[in-house]
Amino acid sequence: MKRPFFLLVVFAMLLTACEAEEEIAEITIEDETETVRIDEAESLYEVLDTHYDVRVAEHDYGLMLEALEDLEALEGSYIAIEKNDEPLEESIDTAAVEDEDRFFFELIWYDETAEKIHDALSLYYEGHNPGPADAVEVQLGLLHAGRIEADAEHVEAFEEASIAHRIMLKSANGESFEGLIETLADELEFEHAYTASYNAMALMQGAETDDEVDAFMDWALEQDFDEMGLDSLSVMYLAFERYEGEMEIEDEKRSLLETLEGNIYDHPFEDNAASFAQAVLALNAASEDPDGEAYIEDGKTLLQHLISYQEEDGAFLYTHDDDEADMMFTTPQAFLALVMSEQRLQGETAHPYYFE
């Protein structure tokens, strides 16, 4: 009768011995730590690949870690790795792992501009969880950033938006907008530079609106840039940058950009985040750096001025004197401007209203 009990004791001892022999490593991803089994892994990469979502890139010196769970190296940053409180000085596919080793992973920024943009965007994402029910500019920004997929619902949510807005979204989503293009072409008016420029960019999404687009360009080239406000200058420059017709506009485009640059801090309206956002959009499309020394006023770059209007929840004030953030216009414009700034740094399309 004692034999079953004896076997049970032996089994428990064997189980305890096996558990005692189990080798483990401590993995800390920024501020989250957990213990994982090493098993027979021959490298740090094998351990990570077994327990986490990992993305790597091959280099001459071995594998470079590009993403580990939600920790992702963007342009201007890299994932730093420490092993037992010392910097890891070899690639993750050659780094050995021993029992009770400790590994720490964190994102390190070497590009200050990229870090500013990333922090501001993260603040907005965390505070507002944007999606397809948000403003058109937010949807366009999310599409550029790859955070939402092309889907008819993104457009259907804004069926009451302007025709130009709907064309932009349908174009971004790869959907047909032929009827809308025809309607907008029939209704095209050249009265206000801002509206005319935006509508012209919508028409540029179509393949059979060359006459209407050229008519806009003829009108735009006759305008006195010095008499235009910062918002109109910015949107008209975006239209000039988007133009792919046969008219020669390089000299005028350069003149328009120079006028815009000279009016960023000297325009009829008080400084505000919406106008700064429009200027940032235009500069990005021109491959200019809104965080560069050329755009410093009162010790801040244009990008820093824009971010200075951001509240703790990620939304943006219209002016610094406002008590509440403007969610209808300013915040969507600022968000799109930040996304396109990030896109430019990453070598992606920097024009907010152009989708390949």
Per residue in 270-281, pLDDT (tens digit) is 899 999 999 999
Domain count, the chain: 2
3-state secondary structure of 24: strand
71 and 103, same domain (yes or no): yes
How many angstroms separate the CA atoms of 83 and 65, rounded?
A: 15
Query: Contacts from 111-116 at CB under 8 Å and sequence distance 24+?
Result: 111/75, 111/76, 111/77, 111/345, 112/291, 113/76, 113/289, 113/291, 113/303, 113/341, 113/345, 114/74, 114/75, 114/76, 114/77, 114/342, 114/345, 115/76, 115/77, 116/291, 116/303, 116/304, 116/307
| Structural domain boundaries enclosing 72 | 23-110
Beta bridge partners of 296: 301
Residue 347 neighbours by CB distance under 10 Å = 8
Average pLDDT over residues 132-147: 85
Are 202 and 184 in contact by the 8 Å Cβ rule? The answer is: yes
How many angstroms separate the CA atoms of 333 and 339, rounded?
A: 10
141 and 36, same domain (yes or no): no
106 and 117, same domain (yes or no): no
197 and 56, same domain (yes or no): no
Which residues, in sequence order, are CB contacts of 117 under 8 Å at separation 6+? 303, 338, 341, 342, 345
Question: For the segment 167-221, what is each residue's pLDDT rounded down to a tens digit?
Answer: 888 887 777 787 888 888 888 888 889 999 999 998 888 767 788 899 999 999 9
Domain termination site, one of 84, 110, 136: 110
Within a domain: 350: no
75 and 103, same domain (yes or no): yes
- Cβ burial of 338 (10 Å; 0-12, 13-18, 19+) is buried
32 and 78, same domain (yes or no): yes
Instruction: Report the CATH number at residue 136.
Output: 1.50.10.20
Within a domain: 235: yes
Which of 148-157, 274-283, 334-343 shows the lowest mean pLDDT across its residues?
Answer: 148-157
Instruction: Report the CATH number at residue 31.
Output: 2.170.130.30
68 and 208, same domain (yes or no): no
Within a domain: 189: yes
Within a domain: 314: yes
Predicted confidence band of residue 126 (pLDDT cuts 50, 70, 90) = very high
Average pLDDT over residues 276-303: 95
106 and 121, same domain (yes or no): no
97 and 130, same domain (yes or no): no
94 and 186, same domain (yes or no): no
Question: For the segment 49-61, what is each residue's pLDDT rounded down to a tens digit?
Answer: 999 999 999 988 8
